[in-house]
A and B are shown apart, each in its own frame.
Chain A
Amino acid sequence: MSIAVQAPRTIAEKVARLNWGVITLLCALAFIGVLMHFSVSSGVWDEMPLTHGMRFAALLLIMIIAAVFLDTRFWQTIAYPLYLVSFLALVAVEVIGQTRMGATRWLSLGPISLQPSELMKVAVVLAIARYYQQIDPRKTGTLLWSLPPLAMIALPAALVMKQPDLGTAMLIAITGLALMFLGGLAWRIIAVGAAGAVGGALMMYKHLHGYQKARVDTFLGLQDDPLGAGYHVLQSKIAVGSAGLFGRGWMHGSQAQLDFLPEKHTDFIFTMIVEEFGLVGGLFVLVLYGALMALALRIALRSRASRFGRLAAAGVAAMLASYVFINTAMVIGLAPVVGIPLPMISFGGTAMTTLMAGFAIVLSVDLHPSQQGARGLLL
């Protein structure tokens, strides 16, 4: 079943061999984003839809260039150094970070302000892929050899949680654990870990910040607070429930257009999609994401030459799935409100940049299937 694929030589050849399915899906999602931001702007071609579209176009170009010029070996090479830099930056945030809107997430580097937690999302995927590339397959099932990747996930997740950014911490943890699972984590460890996680969650709940706790409480139905933490989800459920099969029409969703729906351009944009395009529209967007995940996973499965590449590509798919599932589940009241945007569609450059970087890796792995990197400790 393994087909020897001749690696492309010229740049033109490489561009032609890019996975255009992935690119098309990304473009489709970003276009839906532009449509929704046009609607958020009440049908005016102002800054928002334009910024979204142009930001995507620029990132798309960078992604393609990166995919063409950087091969799997490059990503493998930078995996540990990138992780180290991200980790140090997270520590730096803890020490000297800027506080905006009650959370310390930003590092100021002259004119650029950086969120090291975003960098870490990509870094943790690369580092864990790198780790499993490196170790003896027979050791993948042992507890001892499972501890280093666990630490690689737990330490940054804990730092991010302290910022506090529960959503990103969850995202890092879920993505990393999915990768460990794919890497060959033993079932008995998983069983013990799952039991430990339930206990840990109860412990962690006690140490959550006030607003995080309120959100979790509301989600669990322990607290009835329609104007506080529950207001967001209540209004979101009203919008989804009243939308009908085909929605109220583009730019006619009353909950979104009249500002009853909070954060409609970022975290709650999926609600706006459902309100204006109905159940059908919402499912269509979910199908697009599903197709994108499937394509990324297919690339991983087909990349038999590089264990690092396949794990990295699968990790990006897991990260995308985490984004999409957490976000959509939260807006319909299936998960607590943790502030995770809908990738490619929500307004804002952070998540988009992170995901596009991820897909640069995926496309790069797809384009350079037979690259086998060094297997030393660092290089």
Chain B
Amino acid sequence: MKTPKPLGRSKRVGSTLPKRDVNEIFTRRAALLSLAGAGVMGAIGVRMFQLQATDWVSRQYTEAADENRFDTRIIAPPRGVIYDRFGTVLAQTSKDYQVAIIQEHAEDVAGVIRKVAEILGMDEEWARRAAIHVRERPRYEPAQLKAGLTWEEFNAVNVRLPELRGIVAESADVRAYPYDIVFAHPIGYVQKPSQRDIDAALRDPEQGEARAVYLRNPDVRVGKAGLEASLEDKLHGEAGWRKVIVNAFGREMGEDEHERRDPVRGSGAVLTLDADLQRIAMENFGEESGACIVMDIYTGDILVMASAPGFDPNHFVNGISQAEFATLNNDEKKPLFNKAVTGAYAPGSTFKLTVGLAAREAGVEADWHVGCPGYFSYGGRDFHCWKKGGHGSIDMHRAIQQSCDVYFYNAALRAGPERIAAVARQLGFGTAFDVTVPNIEDGVVPDPAWMQRVRHQPWTGGLTLNYGIGQGDLQVTPLQLVTMVARLGNGGRAVTPRLVREAPGFGQPPAQPPVISGISQEYLDAVRQGMFAVCNEGGGTATRAGSLINLKRRPDGVIVEAAEAPAGSTPVQIAGKTGTAQVRVITAAERARGVIGNAQLPWKLRDNALFVCFGPWDNPRYACAVVHEHGGHVSTVVDAPLIAAAVMRETFKRDPSRRQAASLAQLEARFQGETA
């Protein structure tokens, strides 16, 4: 032991403890602690090296860091434009003016929203709700306050932006339907994908998770009705993406420009429709319910596909309110329903044309007369003619012209249900013609086999009588009616309707549709003469409609107003057939009291009014079918024949089949080299 240093002075006399050199202990232990410290530091160094070596081998930390900071943001592609046959835009992606708020930039969120409300003329309640709504959104992202601003409103907000801290006025791509209600049914609308769409994508092994992620993107819209839905694959285009750098809160901090893929614009589509004619058809329905189709009888081009009442598809694009949707959905006039292809109706007397053809084929002579006392007794029951006093002795020409029921009861018995059904099918009934839109109804063309199969009942003669006047189980759509009358108008050619003129995957129709085998031109002509008489000969059921056309063909073939026509011009006329279809059974007791007129019945119980026609008579080109739901032919302003005449008159004047249609390639040329 060393001699104690001055520190050792503290030892006390009498202590029995061994002496300790605390300085030596300190030195030794300081060395030990230093060693331990160096060990810990070494361990920390080794651990850092180990983490980096792990990453060098597996890249796991580099990948995790990249996964953290990079995020792929989808760029929704511009949707393809939908044009009418002459290139008029019916649906396009256009700029929507919106005002939004970035909360973290706003000093007083509620206050600045109130100022915006004042500028836009919204009330306090709106401002209060908006303030609550935006609070649920991230503070650093723009939260939309109002979309669909007019240019004036947008400007009003823009000029006051300096005093509106946190408010941004911006434009966004939105699907727009410039004709709003006019094309609601054939074109339909787009909406945000529903949870059902996302679930369906997840279940589909070919689409899977990636598709579901895409559908969840707030900018993505998919077709939900009409052509927007059925042409979805063609219109949608290909999504692009941006690789962005995000921070821990998902906020975009930058973009990797090299990793960007631009979206590809969806293909456009040219329809067969004529925007002006479609608008006129919709206007002619007023507040009424029904459908109108106009078709080129050779090409099958549908020029008008109107279903009334309409609705505004623009309201669906950014999410329709529950209340508005409920109103549309519960309306008894079914505005959301495309009656032109989905509505199935009893054709009533318009079916007599088919029955007439079938009867002639069954051997009914051209001069066959039937006596009509106003009723027909069959199987112990009286079957009534619409004309109480009867038509007297009547042949097919007059029977079509005046729509004599008794004649067609007899004709139906002569033809038999099988032959009627066969001719009906030849003319297009019972077929769901694929005009691309969704939910095309095929209707019902009954015959004894059908009765056995579906109803498990034998066919009876009474059913044949009802068949003769287009009642009973027979169900047809306006699309089938127009096809039927087109096939009569074009001389028995099996024209099929189409709605899309040009889009990827759509070919051209044959120049001349094939002649339907087994329909005699002589019989066809007899029926057509009857139809001409309906509109143009005294006593016809639609002479008023016939006279409304009031056009003439100049010697050079051009159709002009009758008043402006030069000498030598010939009248332009239509040939048609009216129809009235009961939607209820009239009981014997009711008939005894006297049938209540349609005008006195509740709307839902009134008869459907129908009219089919083709023209011009001298050189047929267009066919038209109109169903006026529960019209009952009671109005002198809105009635099926009058709507048809008004629309046909405009069709003849415009004569769209003679004008050059637009070409998709030319229309789309303006998008060449476009970058979204």
Contacts and interface: CB of A to CB of B under 8 A. Distances in A.
Interface string B45-82: 10111011011000011101100110000000000000
A55 interface: no
Contact of A138 (B20, B33, B60): B20
Interface of B: 5-8, 10-12, 15, 17-23, 25-27, 29-30, 33-34, 37-38, 40-41, 43-45, 47-49, 51-52, 54-55, 60-62, 64-65, 68-69, 245-249, 253
Given A243-B52, A334-B47, A137 B19 contact: yes
Nearest to A258: B247
A304 interface: yes
A332 B61 contact: no
Nearest to A231: B248
Nearest to A184: B25
Contact of A260 (B27, B30, B43, B248): B248
B44 A334 contact: yes
Interface string A244-260: 11000000001101111
Interface in A80-115: none
Given A137-B8, A238-B61, A255-B65, 15 more contacts: A137-B11, A138-B11, A182-B30, A184-B25, A184-B29, A242-B55, A255-B69, A258-B248, A260-B248, A293-B34, A311-B26, A318-B33, A325-B37, A332-B47, A372-B6
Given A240-B51, A274-B48, A328-B44, A260 B22 contact: no
A235 B47 CA distance: 16
B12 A294 contact: no
A62 B675 CA distance: 64
B20 A140 contact: yes
Nearest to A294: B34
A28 interface: no
A286 B46 CA distance: 12
Nearest to B55: A241
Interface string A130-160: 0010111111111000000000000000000
A168 to B, nearest CB: 19
7 contacts: A136-B12, A140-B22, A258-B253, A318-B33, A334-B43, A334-B44, A375-B10
Contact of A241 (B11, B61, B245): B61
Nearest to B254: A258
A352 interface: no
Nearest to A137: B22
B30 to A, nearest CB: 6
A307 interface: yes
A140 B7 CA distance: 13
Contacts of B41: 286, 290, 325
B563 to A, nearest CB: 78
Contact of A314 (B20, B30, B52): B30
Given A258-B248, A325-B37, A138 B18 contact: yes
A282 interface: yes
A137 B17 CA distance: 10
Contacts of A314: 26, 30
A239 interface: yes
Contacts of B11: 136-138
A197 interface: no
A279 B248 contact: no
Nearest to B64: A238
Closest 5 CB pairs of A and B: A241-B61, A138-B17, A259-B248, A258-B247, A241-B51
Contact of B22 (A183, A255, A283): A183
Nearest to A283: B45
B48 A181 contact: no
Contacts of B65: 238-239, 242, 254-255, 260
Interface in A44-74: none
A293 B20 CA distance: 27
B330 to A, nearest CB: 46
Interface in A266-284: 274, 279, 282-283
